[in-house]
Amino acid sequence: MNLSNMLLMRNELVLILVILILIIADIFVADKNKKAVNYIAVGLFAVHTLIGFIPLKEGALFGGMFVTNSLVWGFKNILNVGVLLIILLAVSWLNKNSLRNRKIGEFYILIFSSLLGMFYLISSRNFLMLYLSLELSTLPVTALAAYDIFNRKSSEAGIKLILSAALSSGIFLFGMSLLYATGGSLYFDALTGNIGHSYLSIAGLVMFFAGLAFKISLVPFHFWTADVYEGAPTPVSNYLSVISKSSAVFILMITLFVTLNELKDIWIPMLYGISILTMFIGNFFALRQQNLKRFLAFSSVAQAGFIMMGMLAADHLAASSVIYFLAIYIFSNIGAFGVVQAVSLASGKENISDYNGLYRTNPKISLILMISLFSLAGIPPIAGFFGKFFLYTAAAGKGYYLLVFIAVVNVTISLYYYLLVVRAAFLRRSENPIPYFKSDIFTKIGLIIVVIALFFLGLYSPFYDYIDSVTHILNI
């Protein structure tokens, strides 16, 4: 290994540098100037995001444990942009509370550390590496979920998240060791084609899958989702619902499509059932929610069901459409959470009925909310429609018309509850609506980027073409 090889980890190295600078800055900035840490962190991360777009060589490190290719590089950039948006939206929340002020540095350090874990996660080509990076990505988030220590719900969210994460890691490790027992290696390459059909390997697959299903919050491993999303600070819920979920989907896809391809006849029916369950349960529970964060939690559970539907086609089209959908989903959900956070910060209100008459007092933010929700529901010409359409196409291409039919029925159900929010904000009037409020410049920039992305990513087809070209690397 030499310096030029090390540059394959450029994303990770720059991020570590950012974290180190932040730690030092956090020490040297006086308590009363803590707000400055915000600007340092956002600035540094913006630079990091820009550096990320510089093309990267392809190659492997640590004997093949860590790889970089254009697919991974592209996905890391998507994650970077997502995290940048999340921290842009978090600034005003961090500034608001003097108690939080003192821990501003901590917030950024933890969130970047978790992102570092995600980077290693999607680059890993070895189960041990996969496990370590999964832990690195999860532990900081559990601390973040409990960030508002004096808020009982936040502490509860932290405990819930760490307990379920520990449980899922345990199951995951056990599945991993079973796969090791059957295949004799922890490297993806060495395992590919050497697993064979046996009860042992199937049990390994199921447990490995269950471990990741916790992160993606697939039914029946979704129980922690609503409570944690509701209790955790909104930026953290936002992070969990997009960055954490999409990285887990990404690595699940790589392992299923490539390494565990032999067990296709097992995991395809498994995904089929889980996809249907996840869509229905996510949607039916979302119908009844009043709290918007719980509402978005169940909506994100349902979205995971759609992703699984696309994934079980297990071909090139499936890979491209899943990644395309993830990229769009990240923006849509960040938009929705961003608005919820801005409103809750200004008024302390988080229930759907509180949004009655929002359009008449705050038209711009209501529009952004509508666009984000329509993107989640899949209404053209907003990007979410294209993402969903390609997922259906992937599933229908393999003849799963029944599943596509079930999915479109679910889209109609989901449209109902997304429209409930739109109805509150646009159709209803209220005696005491949420008064007009101004958001800070960071929130504005973040939400504007989201809106532009939501129109651009769908209508501008070269973005999909690019994803389609990089997924050829998977060789499926």
Partner 1 sequence: MDILTLFVVVPVLTVFALMISKGIKQHRVVALIGFSIQTLMSFNLIYQYLQERAAGNNAVMVFTKDIMWFAPMNIHYAIGVDGISVLMILLTSVIVLTGIFISWKVDDLPKEFFISLIVLASGVFGFFISVDLFTLFVFYEIAVIPMFLLIGIWGTGPREYAAMKLTLMLMGASALLLVGILGVYFNSGADGGALSFNIFEISKVHIPVSAQKLFFPFLFVGFAVIGALFPFHTWSPDGHASAPTAVSMLHAGVLMKLGGYGIFRVAMFVMPEGAKYWANFFLVLVIIGILYGALAAIKQKDLKYINAYSSVSHLGLVLFALLMMNDIAWKGAMLQSLSHGFITALSFALIGVIYGRTHTRIITKMRGLLNVIPIAGALYVIAGLANLGLPGFSGFVAEMNIFVGAFQHADTFHRVITILAVSSIVVTAVYILRVVGMILMGPTTPEFKNLPKIAWYEKTGTFILVLFIVLIGIFPFWWGGIISDSVIPFIQNLH
Report the residue number, 198 or 465, with the smaller CB distance to partner 1: 465
Spatial distance between the Cα atoms of 137 and 140, rounded to a whole number of angstroms: 7
Query: Taking the C-alpha atoms of 178, 473, 16 and 2 in order, what is their torsion angle to the nearest 10 degrees?
Result: 100
DSSP of 138-168, one letter per residue? HHHHHHHHT-STT-HHHHHHHHHHHHHHHHH
Angle at CA of residue 475, ends 474 and 476, nearest 5°: 100
Nearer to partner 1 by C-beta: 210 or 391?
391
213 to 252: interface string for partner 1, x by CB under 8 A: ----------------------------------------
Q: In the range 315-344, which residues lie near partner 1 by CB under 8 A?
A: 317, 320
The nearest distance, CB 374 to partner 1, in angstroms, is 7
Nearest to 148 by CA among 97, 109, 224, 88: 97
Q: Which of 46, 379, 474, 476 binds partner 1 (CB under 8 A)?
A: 379
Residue 465 interacting with partner 1 (CB under 8 A):
yes
Q: Which stretch binds partner 1 (CB under 8 A): 108-116, 249-257, 384-392, 449-457?
A: 384-392
Residue 456 binding partner 1, by CB under 8 A? no
CB-nearer residue toward partner 1: 206 or 391:
391
Are the beta carbons of 204 and 127 closer than 8 angstroms? no
- Give the residue, chosen from 374, 383, 439, 442, that forms a contact with partner 1 under the rule CB under 8 A: 374
Compute the CA torsion angle 26, 46, 65, 214 (nearest 10 deg): 80
The answer for residues whose C-beta is within 8 angstroms of residue 89's C-beta and 6 or more apart is 235, 238, 334, 337, 338, 341, 342, 442, 443, 446, 447
Largest CA distance in the chain: 68
Of 186 and 411, nearer to partner 1 (C-beta) is 411
Contacts of 78 (CB under 8 A, 6+ apart): 246, 326, 327, 330
Q: Please report where in the chains the tokens 């539907």 appear, as a residue.
A: 309
Tell which one of 285, 298, 355, 385 touches partner 1 (CB under 8 A).
385
For residues 309 and 275, the answer to whether their CB atoms sit within 8 Å is yes
**Of 64 and 380, CB closest to partner 1:** 380
Per-residue tokens: 245: 């979920």
78 binds partner 1 (CB under 8 A): no
Backbone angles phi, psi at 97, to 5 degrees: -105, 125
Let me know if 51 is exposed, middle or buried by CB neighbors in 10 A (0-12, 13-18, 19+).
middle
**Chosen residue from 125, 352, 468, 470 binding partner 1 by CB under 8 A:** 468
Residue 24 binds partner 1 (CB under 8 A): no
Q: How far is the CB of 252 from partner 1 (least distance, A)?
A: 23
Give me the residues paired with residue 60 across strands. 67
Instruction: Decide: is 254 part of the binding site for partner 1 (CB under 8 A).
Output: no
Find the shortest distance in angstroms from Cβ 415 to partner 1.
6
Q: What is the size of the binding site for partner 1 (CB under 8 A)?
A: 33
Q: How far is the CB of 66 from partner 1 (least distance, A)?
A: 29
State the binding string over 389-428 for partner 1 (x if CB under 8 A, else -): xx-xx--xx-x-x--xx--xx-xx--xx--x--xx--xxx
If DSSP codes are grouped into helix, strand and coil, which group holds residue 394?
A: helix
125 CB contacts (<8 Å, ≥6 apart)? 60, 64, 65, 66, 67, 187, 188, 189
Cβ at position 254, least distance to partner 1 in Å: 20
Q: Report the residue number, 93 or 386, with the smaller CB distance to partner 1.
A: 386
Q: Which is nearer to partner 1, 177 or 393 (CB)?
A: 393
Whichever of 66 and 426 has its CB closer to partner 1, that residue is 426
List of residues 6+ apart from 359 with CB closer than 8 A: 366, 367, 425, 426
Nearer to partner 1, 170 or 399 (CB): 399
Tokens of residue 242, six digits: 């997009």
Kindly tell me which of 276 and 317 has the beta carbon lying closer to partner 1: 317
CB of 468 to partner 1, least distance (A): 4
Residues that bind partner 1 (CB under 8 A): 317, 320, 374, 379-381, 385, 389-390, 392-393, 396-397, 399, 401, 404-405, 408-409, 411-412, 415-416, 419, 422-423, 426-428, 461, 464-465, 468
